[in-house]
A and B are shown apart, each in its own frame.
Chain A
Amino acid sequence: MAKLPKPEELSKIDFTPPKTSWMDTPVTIKEGMFCHGAKQKSLEIVGFPNARDWRPLDADWKLPENWKEILLEGIADRLEKYRSFRLFMDICVRCGACADKCHFFIGTGDPKNMPVLRAELIRSVYRKEFTAAGKIFGKMAGARELTLDVLKEWWYYFFQCTECRRCSVFCPYGIDQAEITIIGRELLNELGLNIDWIAGPAAACYMKGNHLGLEPHTITSNLEYMLDDIETITGKRIKPSFNRKGAEILFVTPSGDLFADPGTYTAMGYLMLFEELGLDYTWSTYASEGGNFGFFTTNELAKRLNSKIYNEARRLGVKYIIGGECGHMWRVLNQYMDTWNGPADFLEVPKSPITGTVFENARSTKMIHIAEFTADLIKNNKLKLDPRRNDHLKVTFHDSCNTARGMGILEEPRYIINKVCNHFTEMPEDTIREKTFCCGSGSGLNASEDMDLRMKGGFPRANAVKFVRDHYGVNMLANICAIDRAALPPLMDYWVPGVKVTGVHELVANALIMKGEKERTTDLRGEPLPGIGQKEEKA
């Protein structure tokens, strides 16, 4: 693997376009900018086509003989199925408003990372094969042949897009590069051109219920470690239940929260909160994944993976579902789940057993976001909180792409943070909320072999964090996304050393005063709590 250049080098970005026109500039696949090809095994498990081991740097991608035919049929099929696709192929005026909105363009300067041009990669072929003007006028009408080079270009650049939708916020027609990337990746999938960082977790999720491939006993033992830590910190032993029939609520969170810190601290936060409420809920080892890497392969696999959530809710006989902190998970839950696998008529409209609040906004899907649930608790004064326990943290909040632009859960986490922390600062306004920047590693690109790409893509986000670190001493980057919790720590270490990453419910649990807890001396990370001595002085 290529060595990652130093930040000073990586931030020297050349925005000069190549001398040759983009159609005449063949793709160069660069080390550090792509992920390994999907393994045969991963594709076979979910029954994906052209399963074989292959390497992106090899000249021969081991494609089926009729690969071109397959792709063109694939495009025709999706033009029939998706109005979005058909429309987005036709109506772009190339005004360029999207160009400098993409974190990958900002971070690489590569013109093919301008969303408009990334879309043109596929539009040019669409024109050639599906429009009269393209057939007659060819290149002059922006049309070109589908060749092996073009295919490789698709592959390279559709895996340099994190489906974050920032471009679509600025597009006067709402053209959404995420939609084009999603379909582009579906087409590539028909030739077995997946990346293993996506195909592997998707296969694991299909067989074992979660991306990390945690088997049932591993899930329980991972939680045991957390419970030990919670006992050390609070003196309370929590006994959560798994796969329990008759529980009122099924709780589903991304498996990343069960696996590595800082996600595990967030999971400890959930455990402590639910314990304190005496919530009648259960975890599931079968539906042990909120996220959905299938979403980064095909619509069909996304649906297959997602089906486990409703199926498990039905089997266990719960009343409704609460979902943990995760980005693309909530894009899927908010915009796809009910359509794919609903109607969830065997569930009830979510109603908080603590406050009695009925979540009308989840009337049909019957699944609520934990930030909605917790914000409601705090608003109704149901939690005893001591925000001073987070006084050692100067917090800022990173809106995840999907929860911001595919849902709009902006105020809930901010409300919670402001109630559990005393020091909260926003990043510059053009980098948050609907204009938030991706972590650079979303949509399944958070592998280790594409660190160059990730650091470049995460540059705008890191740059905004650096601003609040330098000006306001921010040392903690809060978020509601498991990919963020995995991807932002290396990004911070690289660009903004000294800033750590946390889930919102870790902050909640730090501040949460639990019944019968011992006096806490550390936060969930085992770091000493601020002002412990002073507290006694006051008394």
Chain B
Amino acid sequence: MRVLFAFIAVLLLALAAYAGVEAVNLRFLFGVVIPYVAVVVFIAGMIYRVLKWGSAPVPFRIPTTCGQQKSLPWIKQNKLENPSGMLGVIGRMTLEVLFFRSLFRNLKTQLNEDSRLAYGEAKWLWLAGMAFHWSFLTIFARHLRFVMQQVPEPIRMIEGLDSFLQIGTPLLYMTDVVLLLAVAYLFIRRVGIPQMRYLSLANDYFPLFLIFGIGLSGVLMRYFYKTDIISVKVLAMGLVSFKPSIPEGIGVIFYIHFFLLSVLLIYFPFSKLAHLGGVFMSPTRNLANNNRMKRHINPWNYPVHVHTYAEYEDEFREKMKKAGLPVEKE
């Protein structure tokens, strides 16, 4: 039901672009207006999101420590998993953001017949996550060639590396395949594992279908239903130079691709995808475990009512004296 809902939603979006361009010739809407709106919503939405998170203070320094603390000089501290300073935190966050360190730890817990629990390696989720995100980033970088008059050398290098298998014409980009496979894996995992299916929401499936749709339409456009790539570049250059125009000869497949991407951008800040920004702000990861060395200030710390020693002694004075305990007042 939730899967179907998400699938139909994406299908309808693709159809909307198809119908809009083919039947009603809304090329300007799908090629210019919606993309502009999408970029504005994405940027403004993400800024809003991050500012909103940032506006809430971090009252306590609560890193999850995953290694030995800094204590006595002869005990080796785990500076990456339990950092006590800025450098360690930067290292920890780098590993987390670029290589998904925590997910790499993933284990599979299994209850055997004889009631014994066994823990096994479970790196597939990590691998698929890495494959997905890095492919996505590479593909994004490759697309920069459409918005630059001169294609810079680093992008040419990425393209070269990405196509070094030298398969087909045009050359096959590995990341195209990897992205689709990774998304497919993430989807199959979600529906295939009973617990995963149980906890998944429609808004877990929707972005998977959406991204798969973007990837698929891109692949179709590049390898099968070829579209006039020069015109696409003219359109893209027009958009980034704020002189939008709709050149002739761009196939409908491009508009589907472009529209789904626009939807992704609009959806992004209001969904779980905003983890792109959130991952940097997690207080269990981006703080040093140096609480006992350096006082952390809670901006809303306020005085509280406490049961004082004087009140305590007043209640127990006689008993304390009998037990030979010193008292302040006789």
A residues near B, CB below 8 A?
8, 11-13, 15-17, 21-22, 47, 79-87, 90-97, 99-101, 106, 111, 114, 116-117, 120, 131-133, 140-142, 165, 168-176, 179, 206-209, 215-217, 220-221, 242-245, 285-286, 300, 303-304, 307-308, 311-312, 315, 333-336, 338-340, 342-343, 357, 359-365, 367, 372, 375-376, 379, 404-412, 415, 428, 430-431, 433-435, 459-460, 463-464, 466-467
| 5 closest A-B pairs by CB | A408-B69, A91-B278, A408-B65, A217-B323, A174-B284
In chain B, what residue has the closest Cβ to A459? B117
Rounded to whole angstroms, the CA-CA distance of A335 and B295 in the bound complex is: 10
Given known A169-B102, A179-B62, contact A339–B295 (CB-CB < 8 A): yes
Within B35-73, the residues touching A (CB, 8 Å) are: 49, 52-54, 56-62, 64-72
In the assembled complex, 24 residue pairs joining A and B whose CB atoms fall closer than 8 Å, in A order, are A15-B111, A83-B58, A85-B56, A90-B53, A92-B275, A99-B195, A99-B199, A111-B198, A111-B199, A140-B5, A141-B201, A173-B279, A173-B285, A174-B282, A176-B62, A179-B62, A220-B325, A221-B323, A335-B61, A360-B293, A363-B292, A405-B65, A430-B119, A435-B107
Contacting residues, chain A, for B140 (C-beta < 8 A) = none
Are A375 and B72 in contact, with the CB atoms below 8 A? yes
Are B105 and A84 in contact, with the CB atoms below 8 A? no
Interface of A (DSSP majority class): helix
Extra pairs beyond A91-B279, A215-B316 (13, CB < 8 Å): A22-B199, A82-B56, A82-B57, A84-B62, A84-B284, A131-B270, A172-B96, A220-B325, A311-B309, A359-B71, A364-B295, A407-B69, A408-B65
B306 at the interface (CB under 8 A from A): yes
Are A95 and B103 in contact, with the CB atoms below 8 A? yes
Within B231-271, the residues touching A (CB, 8 Å) are: 270-271
Rounded to whole angstroms, the CA-CA distance of A13 and B116 in the bound complex is: 12
Given known A117-B199, A361-B71, contact A463–B116 (CB-CB < 8 A): yes
In chain A, what residue has the closest Cβ to B267? A133
Sort chain B's interface into a size bin. 35 or more
Are B106 and A97 in contact, with the CB atoms below 8 A? yes
Rounded to whole angstroms, the CA-CA distance of A8 and B84 in the bound complex is: 45
Are B279 and A338 in contact, with the CB atoms below 8 A? no
Contacting residues, chain A, for B67 (C-beta < 8 A) = 408, 410, 433-434
In chain B, what residue has the closest Cβ to A462? B117
Are A363 and B289 in contact, with the CB atoms below 8 A? no
Given known A96-B199, A133-B271, A165-B64, contact A86–B56 (CB-CB < 8 A): yes
Rounded to whole angstroms, the CA-CA distance of A285 and B115 in the bound complex is: 46
Are B309 and A312 in contact, with the CB atoms below 8 A? yes
Rounded to whole angstroms, the CA-CA distance of A16 and B111 in the bound complex is: 13
Contact pattern, B 102-114, Cβ under 8 Å of A = 1, otherwise 0: 1101111101000
Q: Which of B49, B64, B125, B298 has the most CB of A within 10 A?
A: B64
Contacting residues, chain A, for B295 (C-beta < 8 A) = 338-339, 342-343, 364-365
B304 CB contact (under 8 Å) in A8, A81, A304, A342: A304
Q: How far is the CB of A422 from chain B (nearest CB, A)?
A: 22
Q: How far is the CB of B94 from chain A (nearest CB, A)?
A: 14
Contacting residues, chain A, for B203 (C-beta < 8 A) = 133, 140-142
B150 at the interface (CB under 8 A from A): no
Q: How far is the CB of A531 from chain B (nearest CB, A)?
A: 31
Contacting residues, chain B, for A79 (C-beta < 8 A) = 56
Contacting residues, chain B, for A408 (C-beta < 8 A) = 65-69, 78, 82, 289
In chain B, what residue has the closest Cβ to A167? B64
B300 at the interface (CB under 8 A from A): yes
Are B5 and A11 in contact, with the CB atoms below 8 A? no
B322 at the interface (CB under 8 A from A): yes
In chain B, what residue has the closest Cβ to A13? B111
Rounded to whole angstroms, the CA-CA distance of A357 and B304 in the bound complex is: 35
Contacting residues, chain A, for B81 (C-beta < 8 A) = 434
Are A86 and B52 in contact, with the CB atoms below 8 A? yes
Q: How far is the CB of B33 from chain A (nearest CB, A)?
A: 22
Within B290-330, the residues touching A (CB, 8 Å) are: 290-298, 300-301, 304-309, 312-313, 315-316, 319-320, 322-326
A217 CB contact (under 8 Å) in B129, B204, B270, B319: B319
Q: How far is the CB of A427 from chain B (nearest CB, A)?
A: 11
Rounded to whole angstroms, the CA-CA distance of A404 and B301 in the bound complex is: 27
Rounded to whole angstroms, the CA-CA distance of A18 and B309 in the bound complex is: 54
Rounded to whole angstroms, the CA-CA distance of A435 and B78 in the bound complex is: 15
Q: How far is the CB of A472 from chain B (nearest CB, A)?
A: 16
B75 CB contact (under 8 Å) in A367, A375, A460: A375
Given known A176-B284, A361-B292, A412-B71, contact A216–B304 (CB-CB < 8 A): no
Given known A132-B270, A216-B325, contact A94–B201 (CB-CB < 8 A): yes
Contacting residues, chain B, for A300 (C-beta < 8 A) = 304
Given known A81-B57, A90-B272, contact A367–B292 (CB-CB < 8 A): yes
In chain A, what residue has the closest Cβ to B305? A304
Given known A97-B103, A379-B74, A405-B64, contact A365–B292 (CB-CB < 8 A): yes
Are A336 and B60 in contact, with the CB atoms below 8 A? yes
B194 at the interface (CB under 8 A from A): yes
Q: How far is the CB of A501 from chain B (nearest CB, A)?
A: 20
B292 CB contact (under 8 Å) in A82, A308, A364: A364
Q: How far is the CB of A246 from chain B (nearest CB, A)?
A: 11
Rounded to whole angstroms, the CA-CA distance of A13 and B281 in the bound complex is: 37
In chain B, what residue has the closest Cβ to A16? B194
In chain A, what residue has the closest Cβ to B270? A133
In chain B, what residue has the closest Cβ to A495? B115
Are B117 and A87 in contact, with the CB atoms below 8 A? no
Rounded to whole angstroms, the CA-CA distance of A85 and B326 in the bound complex is: 46
Rounded to whole angstroms, the CA-CA distance of A286 and B100 in the bound complex is: 47
B199 CB contact (under 8 Å) in A116, A304, A342, A363: A116
